[in-house]
Chains A and B, each alone.
Chain A
């Protein structure tokens, strides 16, 4: 299972913010930690701000602050803003229709499991996982 670059940036950013919810962080700070371009990250953070997962603070010393409930927001809540997990359809146009349908059924099973997994892991649970792995 692979997630798109923007989705990963959004997830890593949300985890950075959730780890220090009271702190305001600038785009540059997060970008430096994630080793990405601030310009690219800014678009991702704006998307998170639009749905109120982050609060944006305007001005020269502006930035973002965590605005969500880490025990309620799941990975799926974030991923769903950037991509559609489970939009896979067989492309084998020459395959017999029944085979196409059978393959679609198996892929749907995988997608449902992926969605359920992402939907059951909250940011808070992720922070605990990170702590246990000691790779904060």
Chain B
């Protein structure tokens, strides 16, 4: 059950938002990672090709999205990558993630890219279903990994 809320605004993340972002991430992953998010703000909080955005409504942070434009990875033309997305559980199904994805996609478009990609664990049905609902389809890439420990 989602809460009714006033208008949602997306904007660049600020240091003052970090505690709430850490909490939203902790609710989704079970891990609080303040140092990680401080690093994300430092690296993605500024610059035209990197974006760390938050959605604000009812005077608090309701969600976040992080991404960047990546060039020519294995020959792939420049493309926008989203690698972090979270919404407060009680604020879901209110269009917050949709608004944030639209905002970051617009920022990518201004950088001249025409494609947005993401990479999600295949058991993360919630986030996977969200991106699917936004019209995202399988990319022409295959993620691979190997134990090296």
Contact = CB atoms under 8 A, between A and B. Distances in A.
Interface of A: 71, 74, 112-113, 115-117, 119-122, 124-125, 128-129, 132
28 contacts: A71-B93, A71-B133, A74-B125, A74-B129, A112-B122, A113-B122, A115-B122, A116-B122, A117-B138, A119-B125, A119-B128, A120-B125, A120-B128, A120-B129, A120-B131, A120-B132, A121-B129, A122-B129, A122-B132, A122-B133, A124-B133, A125-B129, A125-B132, A125-B133, A128-B133, A128-B135, A129-B135, A132-B135
B4 interface: no
B147 interface: no
Contacts of B123: 116
A115 B125 CA distance: 11
Nearest to A76: B125
Nearest to A117: B138
Contacts of A71: 93, 133
Nearest to A109: B142
A116 to B, nearest CB: 3
Given A71-B93, A128-B135, 18 more contacts: A74-B125, A74-B129, A112-B122, A113-B122, A115-B122, A116-B122, A116-B123, A116-B128, A119-B128, A120-B128, A120-B129, A120-B131, A121-B129, A121-B132, A122-B129, A124-B133, A125-B132, A128-B133
Nearest to A115: B122
A22 B132 CA distance: 25
A15 B138 CA distance: 21
